Structure 1
Amino acid sequence: MRLTGLPETAVREDIAAALAEDIPWPRVLNSICTAPHPLAVEAAHAAAHTNLGDVRIFRGTKRIERKVVALLLELLGRPQGAGSLVSGGTEANLLAVLAARQDARAAGRLTEHPEVVVGSTVHFSFDKIFSALGITPVRVPVDDGLRLAPESVEKAVSEHTIAVVATAGSSELGVVDRVDAIAAVLEPHGVWLHVDAATGGFIIPFARELGLPLPQFDFSLDGVRSITIDPHKYGLANVPAGAILFRAQEAYQADSFFLDTPAHTTLLGTRPGSAAMATYAVLEHLGREGFVDVTRTNFENTRYLTGRLAEAGYGLLIEPELNIVVARVPHAAEVSRLLGTRDWIVSTSRRFDDAVRIVVARHVTRDVIDEFIPVLVRADQEIRAEVAAR
């Protein structure tokens, strides 16, 4: 720390210079986040000083959080449920597993070696969660569509199972597990079903309204006990803004997780109230019709992208269910690195070679796609030439 502080102008210049090094959103094709809605930015700025960890002081901010949770529960079919805003999908998934373990303990079903059944394509946050909590993951195969297979789930359930995790929109592949079928096979077992909808929670409900054939995944299914949803992704809120939602009020009670902290129902103590305000601003301003319009545009641009990729000679690893496209590109990792040097950011699949992943978020317009495709083709040709010359 400096002995004598810098003038405000110098600090602003340093910050501006640092931000200028960031890749601009129109060249970010790998992120399931996007630039937040301008009203969200305004609301977050207004609440920048608030802390949801101290509800005695920030009473109005806490009231807004409760309204946001109510709006999310209504969206996901359980107005009488419960939940909290959290930092994102990882914290939400952690709280869901904690709640499932507590539920198993209360029911006398918690063994010395608790297990959670997951698919081989489950989000990597669960690896951290299982390691931290000492829980054994039971990984089951996915089907030909890369979805968690209900019959495999049922076979994997044992006396050690405290939960099953289904994914409503994988961030890597955009695949939606058949949560309805999984809930049906789990019904006789009474096992906690958690749905990780961090990616798809703000897509699937509106896509279904548009008539797209996506499975139901929310609390309208009796077996679903908890859901992760991230407003800072397709909800257009500022980072960090996630949410954990529960079917039952009992699962939400603070003493399920923490002792003597009735005001703290999440992992974090200090929490930014700005996230609640930003999320509330977007939900109330856009409404259901606004999110349907955003979703419609994203899917239209996704179809446009797949068409442009086909024209350029690229096939798809899988037909996209959501607005995440995985194209077959030889030497994908090298192509991705070369694109990065040219300030175009894509990602590759962790499970499949020769696959480039492109996310069509709100900032990925047709103009962006038209600019990107020739850049991709050139990078691909250069890498192929390099490989041939080795």
Structure 2
Amino acid sequence: MERKGLEKRQIFEKLDEFQKNDLEYSSGRILGSMCTCAHPVAKEAYCKFLESNLGDPGLFEGTKTLEDAVITMLGELLGKKDIHGHVITGGTEANLMAMRAAKNYARQEKSIIHGEIIAPKSAHFSFKKAEDILGLKLKEAELDENYCIDLNSVKSLITDKTVAIVGVAGTTELGKIDPIKELSEICLEENIYLHVDAAFGGFLIPFLQDIGFKINDFGFNLPGVSSITIDPHKMGLAPIPTGCILFRDEKFLDVMSIETPYLTEKQQSTIVGTRTGASAAATWAIMKYMGWEGYTKLAKNAMEITNLLARGLVQNGFDLVSEPELNIVAFNLSGLTAKELAKYLDDKGWAVSVSSCPPAIRIVLMPHIRREHIEELLEDLKEIKETLI
């Protein structure tokens, strides 16, 4: 730190230099991220509420009202208006909160001290963090031939120490949707907490179902679902960081509440204390602005771009891992490992990622990806293939 502060002009010149090294979503070159350009309406609302702190809601009653309205809207989207939850940083915090709720509830209601959670091998890495941070044992269920959780594997892993089962609605690597209805039935029968990680699929699946896509249910309309993660900073077009955790019943929040005598109210469940109200305001604003029709159009366009890429890959001799369910395409090229192909694409300026189960190039077709970007990508892939033959 300088003893005497820099002028504003100097500071922003330096910031510009730092920012030049960042990739921009708008370039269409970021193909492996589940985040995208925040909508201008959401960004404006975010900046307007930068100083609000939902960690002390008694001081920011207007912002708390906004957060409650967001949770209600998300509940309506996911099958149950009367739900409870918070706008937080993202899917990792939401999943940690869900596992903490399951752990505390099982300890209170079933006297389970050393709990276990069951999640598919395709689950997000945040559940490994939950194992470490919360002292829970993570048991990974096998996947079926469609890369979804295998129900027989789940049943074989259940013990008297199981505090939660996890299903995913839009896996991080392949965009697959687990059989949540069947998991709901298992959890009701076994009296086990069911958490659905819909961080990615939550802002997609309901709109696609509405226009005729045959996609598995995953929401609170299934009676065994206890909690859901959903991320507005993905397909919801809210700024980073914006995630949400939703609970069917307030009792799951109550088992995590902490007395905070120096604040206006006790804190209810969130991992962090101080948390910005800007994310809640931005989510409220963009959901009101987009409406059901706007998000349906966004989802439909994402799937059209997804199908354009999938068809082009097959036509050019690339191997799809499976037919895409959501806007993620994974593929390989015979004779190259996924990492080798990723290096060729990186050399051409494409920022892709590699899935691990199975190893493949993974492309996420977020709203910043347009038809012309896919056409250019397919041309580069065709050139790479021809060069190697």
TM-score, structure 1 as length reference: 0.94
Which range moved further: 121-130 or 259-268? 259-268
1:205 counterpart residue number: 206
2:286 to 269, 282, 296: 282
Q: CA RMSD for the aligned pairs?
A: 1.6
Q: Which amino acid aligns with 1:42?
A: E
Structure 1: state its 5+ residue gaps: 386-390
Q: Which amino acid aligns with 1:241?
A: T
1:352 to 358, 366, 372: 358
**Identical amino acids, percent of aligned pairs:** 37
Q: Which amino acid aligns with 1:63?
A: T
2:22 counterpart residue number: 22
Could you report, residue by residue, the CA deviation over 1:172-201 in whole angstroms, capped at 9, with x for unpaired residues?
A: 111000100111123211110000001111
The reply to whether residue 59 of structure 1 matches residue 65 of structure 2 is no
1:226-305 counterparts in 2 under 5 A? 226-253=227-254, 256-260=256-260, 262-305=266-309
Q: Which amino acid aligns with 1:158?
A: T
2:220 counterpart residue number: 219
Query: Is the 8 Å Cα contact of residues 257 and 267 (structure 2) preserved in structure 1?
Result: no
2:73 to 71, 74, 80: 71
1:119 counterpart residue number: 120
Distance, in Å, in 2 between the alignment partners of 1:179 and 1:282 is 28
2:151 counterpart residue number: 150
What SS is found at the alignment partner of 2:373? helix
1:388 counterpart residue number: none
2:376 counterpart residue number: 371
1:306 to 304, 307, 310: 310
1:182-201 counterparts in 2 under 5 A? 182-201=183-202
Change in 2 beyond 3 A, CA 1:352/1:365: same
Q: Which amino acid aligns with 1:30?
A: G
Query: Is the 8 Å Cα contact of residues 23 and 343 (structure 1) preserved in structure 2?
Result: no
Cα distance, 1:161 vs structure 2: 0.4
Cα distance, 1:305 vs structure 2: 0.8
Distance, in Å, in 2 between the alignment partners of 1:186 and 1:71 is 26
Distance, in Å, in 2 between the alignment partners of 1:256 and 1:380 is 54
Cα distance, 1:264 vs structure 2: 4.6
Cα distance, 1:24 vs structure 2: 2.2
What SS is found at the alignment partner of 1:201? helix
Could you report, residue by residue, the CA deviation over 1:56-113 in whole angstroms, capped at 9, with x for unpaired residues?
A: 33221121111111111111112111001111111101110111112112212414x3
Distance, in Å, in 1 between the alignment partners of 2:314 and 2:370 is 18
Could you report, residue by residue, the CA deviation over 1:287-345 in whole angstroms, capped at 9, with x for unpaired residues?
A: 11111110000011111111111222112001110000001132221222343344310
Change in 2 beyond 3 A, CA 1:58/1:126: same
What SS is found at the alignment partner of 1:185? helix
2:132 counterpart residue number: 131
Distance, in Å, in 1 between the alignment partners of 2:22 and 2:344 is 17
Query: Is the 8 Å Cα contact of residues 258 and 267 (structure 2) preserved in structure 1?
Result: no
What SS is found at the alignment partner of 1:139? strand
Structure 2: state its 5+ residue gaps: none
Distance, in Å, in 1 between the alignment partners of 2:367 and 2:375 is 15
Which range moved further: 42-51 or 160-169? 42-51
Distance, in Å, in 2 between the alignment partners of 1:350 and 1:208 is 29
Number of aligned positions between the proteins: 381
Q: Which amino acid aligns with 1:320?
A: P
2:366 counterpart residue number: 361
Cα distance, 1:381 vs structure 2: 5.3
